[in-house]
């Protein structure tokens, strides 16, 4: 009985202080930067490539891919602009896309865009970072 009460107390205490709520916006964006640049590899496709790696002065501005498939398959040769938020996505739709791989219109992005299945906290951090990036200058 005592054990159950203790368990309930711990569960209550952790429900009151989820990690996400303790994070400031700045910390959330920093975590997003780590997930996007160090884990997600988003810049490898969505940022113009140079011989020494993605040009981070144009981070997630959109880019032609530097590689192509060796077999025939559905394929998108261009990775669109993400900086400032992908066109036509609300913040919630972008979070959902990173959790499910499903676009706002119900379709899925073509390869080589990975079908990410990140958890909600990570998706929110990634979206906070990407949406805060300066978008490319208007053309």
Number of H helices, E strands in the chain: 6, 4
109 near ligand HEC (CB under 6 A): yes
Is 130 in contact with 60 (CB distance < 8 Å)?
Answer: yes
Q: What are phi and psi of 72, to 5 degrees?
A: -80, 130
Binding residues for ligand HEC restricted to 17-36, rule: CB under 6 A: 36
Tokens standing for 45?
């496709």
40 near ligand HEC (CB under 6 A): yes
- Residues facing 41 on adjacent strands: none
Of these, 63, 86, 123, 129, which contacts ligand HEC (CB under 6 A)?
86
62 near ligand HEC (CB under 6 A): no
Candidate ranges 7-15, 24-32, 40-48, 50-58; the one touching ligand HEC (CB under 6 A): 40-48
Alpha carbons 82 and 43: distance in angstroms, whole number? 10
Residues that bind ligand HEC (CB under 6 A): 36, 40-42, 44-46, 76, 79-80, 82, 86, 97, 103, 109-110, 112-114, 116, 126
């Amino acid at each position: 009985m005592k054990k159950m009460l203790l368990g309930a107390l711990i569960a209550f205490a952790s429900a009151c202080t989820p990690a996400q709520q303790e994070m400031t916006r700045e910390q959330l964006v920093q975590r997003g930067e780590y997930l996007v640049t160090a884990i997600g590899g988003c810049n490898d496709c969505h940022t113009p490539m140079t011989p020494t790696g993605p040009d981070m002065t144009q981070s997630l501005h959109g880019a032609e891919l530097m590689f192509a498939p060796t077999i025939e398959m559905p394929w998108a040769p261009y990775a669109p602009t993400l900086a400032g938020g992908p066109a036509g996505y609300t913040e919630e739709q972008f979070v959902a896309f990173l959790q499910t791989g499903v676009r706002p219109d119900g379709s899925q992005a073509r390869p080589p865009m990975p079908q990410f299945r990140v958890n909600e906290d990570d998706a929110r951090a990634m979206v906070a970072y990407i949406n805060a990036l300066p978008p490319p200058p208007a053309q």
